[in-house]
A and B are shown apart, each in its own frame.
Chain A
Amino acid sequence: GDSVTQTEGPVTLSEGTSLTVNCSYETKQYPTLFWYVQYPGEGPQLLFKVPKANEKGSNRGFEATYNKEATSFHLQKASVQESDSAVYYCALSPSSNTNKVVFGTGTRLQVLP
């Protein structure tokens, strides 16, 4: 079936350091890939999505490239801020014919000042 595996947290970083959260996926279809972010006390919200292989998505300094050959979609940020502290979810939608999204287990990021 369809699945997403991501870095197991928590991840603790100091402000100004770089972030990589690994994400790999399995599906037999042609998925759209997502990163969602969840701040304390809120529901998840879309950070960005990439519908096509070999393209890059970005938002708020975060970026990820849809690597079809490696089946990966790693989240990166060059310099994290305390306000980036949140839970990050990698997710996929198997195809445009289904309105379903499969989520990874989430990675909690804590950024220390």
Chain B
Amino acid sequence: EAAVTQSPRNKVTVTGGNVTLSCRQTNSHNYMYWYRQDTGHGLRLIHYSYGAGNLQIGDVPDGYKATRTTQEDFFLLLELASPSQTSLYFCASSDVWGHLNERLFFGHGTKLSVL
């Protein structure tokens, strides 16, 4: 079973603060993703990447940067955090899509509170 580890599990910051969320996957997957989960909105894609140095824009990218430093590591950066970014953030990984491989493996989430 694919392993995706997120850190920290909980984070509290103030408005205007600088936050980095980390994600590591150990299953040699090409794709990694950042989602945010909010009541009434479900899971929404922020950014994703298909390999080291690559970044693709998701559906709700405003206010977020991301960087994929290695095949294993994907970071989400909030440089000027705002209360609207208070959310539960999930990292996920997947192999290259094909009918047998179409599935996402999620981490346990990072709960971020921006005061």
Contacts and interface: CB of A to CB of B under 8 A. Distances in A.
Interface of A: 32, 34, 36, 41-46, 49, 51, 89, 93, 96-106
Contacts of A99: 31, 48, 50, 94, 96-97
B22 to A, nearest CB: 15
23 contacts: A32-B99, A34-B102, A41-B108, A42-B108, A44-B104, A46-B103, A46-B104, A93-B97, A96-B97, A97-B97, A98-B97, A99-B50, A99-B97, A100-B45, A101-B45, A101-B104, A102-B45, A102-B59, A103-B35, A103-B43, A103-B44, A104-B42, A105-B40
Question: 8 tightest A-B contacts by CB?
Answer: A43-B106, A105-B42, A103-B43, A51-B99, A46-B103, A106-B42, A103-B42, A99-B97
Nearest to B102: A32
Interface in B63-92: 90, 92
- Say what secondary structure dominates the interface of chain A: loop
Most chain A CB within a 10 A radius of its CB, from B45, B96, B104, B108? B104
A89 B108 contact: no
Given A96-B98, A99-B97, A105 B106 contact: no
A44 B42 CA distance: 11
A34 B103 CA distance: 9
Contact of B102 (A45, A49, A103): A49
Contacts of A34: 102-103
Contacts of A44: 43, 90, 104, 106
B108 A43 contact: yes
Contacts of B50: 99
Nearest to A107: B42
B48 A51 contact: no
Nearest to B49: A99
Contact of A45 (B35, B97, B106): B106
A96 B92 contact: no
Nearest to A91: B43
Contacts of A32: 99, 102
Nearest to B41: A105
A44 B40 CA distance: 16
A89 B35 CA distance: 14
